[in-house]
């Protein structure tokens, strides 16, 4: 299998995505997996470095996938992936999955850019499991804000709003090592980890906790689970509108935490570990090839229309945000209607 990595930000030698996916290819257990230097020689083209700026200008201006749309697939780990090109998105949504054009992936490159290294399993297992669950994160979505507003009576829950800590800052602030230690200390004490969706439909915590052997409690109604794992065997799923009863729902499965944690780790090793990640990528792309209903070349020819639809969608979201801001200033908080600004 010959793979060409096409960056949307310039030369592949300057791309973190290309560097990391190349490193993973060298670790892969797949025989005859080769990275080639030209798209013509490729059996498959993976389009990377897809970012939101200027209506995904880098992707729109990338001629490689537009010349070879059927063998080109996006690999995108941002919160709000575009629907211009079929492929793998970390924040893939059930809403867009009916077309067969999209599958979900993990956060391999994200973890390189914003490292939060998982301690060894022996370190994690040494801690006493005195917490039913924990969550530490930013208030980046309505469901998280609802979680932070709750009061848990027992001493077996830790919820920490870390909105003031910017894990996604490009620099390495002095507070970061301490914040990482605190995060993993809470995880080590926990039988389960809450994984409410963030700005996108997914969250990197799902995969961090699987690697750590801790069962995730996923609160993300529109999240499309990645292909492969038997998610129901180890993860707990709580609907977003049931977040107020999350303690009772997790408590009902307290006795299962060891088995679920073990199965979560096994699933991570089988599908998302460095040596198996390319196998996961190729299996997911094969599923798209099998299920896609409309040839990708038709979508490529419709790029101007898709761009206009994306522009309209973003303008609508911005209008709702402005309207909500004005209502907050004009009315008492309890009278402000709940207006969704969700992008997916």
Q: What is the pLDDT of residues 146-155, one digit of tens each?
A: 999 999 987 8
Q: Which residues contact 329 (CB under 8 A, 6 or more apart)?
A: none
Q: From CA 91, how far away is CA 77, in angstroms rounded?
A: 7
- Kindly state whether residues 58 and 132 are assigned to the same domain: no
Q: How many CB atoms lie within 10 A of CB 261?
A: 25
- Kindly state whether residues 122 and 256 are assigned to the same domain: yes
243 class by beta-carbon count within 10 Å (0-12 exposed, 13-18 middle, 19+ buried): buried
Residue 320 lies in a domain: no
Q: What is the CATH number of the domain that holds 250?
A: 3.40.50
Supply the pLDDT for residue 344: 40
Supply the pLDDT for residue 341: 45
Contact criterion met (CB below 8 Å) for 64 and 53 = no
Supply the pLDDT for residue 115: 85
Low-confidence ranges of the chain (pLDDT < 70): 165-175, 332-344
Supply the pLDDT for residue 329: 77
- Kindly state whether residues 144 and 263 are assigned to the same domain: yes
Q: From CA 288, how far away is CA 328, in angstroms rounded?
A: 43
Q: Which long-range contacts (CB under 8 A, 24 or more apart) does 125-130 make?
A: 125/188, 125/213, 126/188, 127/185, 127/188, 127/189, 128/189, 129/189, 129/190, 129/191, 129/257, 130/156, 130/189
Supply the pLDDT for residue 342: 46
Q: Of 250, 272, 294, which closes a domain?
A: 272
| Structural domain containing residue 97 | 2-111+277-308
Residue 176 lies in a domain: yes
Q: From CA 88, how far away is CA 59, in angstroms rounded?
A: 14
Q: What is the pLDDT of residues 252-270, one digit of tens each?
A: 999 999 999 999 999 999 9
Q: How many domains does the chain have?
A: 2
- Kindly state whether residues 281 and 295 are assigned to the same domain: yes
Residue 337 lies in a domain: no
Residue 58 lies in a domain: yes
pTM of structure? 0.89
Closest Cα partner for 39 from 19, 66, 16, 15?
66
- Kindly state whether residues 182 and 255 are assigned to the same domain: yes
Supply the pLDDT for residue 343: 42
Query: What is the sign, positive or negative, of the torsion defined by CA atoms of 63, 37, 108, 259?
Result: positive
Supply the pLDDT for residue 334: 55
Residue 329 lies in a domain: no
């Amino acid at each position: 299998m010959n793979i060409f990595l096409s960056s949307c930000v310039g030369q592949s030698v300057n791309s973190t995505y290309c560097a990391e996916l190349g490193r993973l290819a060298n670790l892969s257990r797949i025989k005859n997996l080769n990275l080639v230097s030209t798209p013509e020689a490729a059996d498959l083209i993976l389009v990377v470095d897809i970012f939101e700026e200027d209506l995904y200008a880098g992707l729109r201006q990338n001629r490689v996938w537009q010349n070879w749309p059927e063998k080109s697939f996006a690999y995108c780990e941002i919160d709000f992936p575009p629907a211009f090109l079929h492929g793998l998105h970390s924040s893939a949504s059930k809403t867009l999955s009916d077309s067969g054009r999209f599958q979900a992936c993990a956060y391999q490159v994200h973890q390189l850019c914003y490292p939060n290294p998982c301690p060894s399993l022996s370190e994690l297992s040494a801690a006493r499991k005195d917490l039913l669950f924990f969550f530490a994160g930013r208030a980046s979505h309505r469901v998280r804000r609802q979680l932070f507003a709750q009061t848990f009576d027992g001493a077996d829950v830790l919820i920490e709003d870390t909105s003031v800590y910017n894990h996604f800052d490009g620099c390495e602030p002095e507070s970061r090592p301490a914040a990482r230690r605190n995060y993993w200390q809470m995880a080590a004490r926990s039988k389960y980890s809450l994984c409410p969706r963030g700005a996108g439909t997914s969250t990197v915590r799902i995969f961090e906790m699987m690697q750590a052997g801790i069962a995730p409690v996923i609160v993300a109604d529109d999240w499309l689970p990645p292909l492969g794992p038997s998610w129901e065997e180890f993860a707990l799923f709580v609907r977003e509108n049931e977040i107020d009863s999350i303690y009772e729902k997790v408590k009902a499965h307290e006795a299962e935490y060891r088995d679920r944690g073990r199965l979560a780790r096994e699933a991570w090793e089988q599908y998302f570990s460095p040596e198996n990640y390319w196998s996961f990528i190729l299996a997911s792309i094969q599923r798209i090839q099998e299920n896609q209903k409309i040839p990708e070349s038709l979508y490529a020819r419709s790029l101007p229309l898709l761009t206009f639809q994306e522009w309209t969608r973003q303008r609508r979201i911005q209008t709702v945000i402005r309207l909500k801001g004005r209502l907050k200033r004009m009315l008492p908080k309890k009278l402000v209607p709940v207006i969704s600004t969700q992008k997916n």
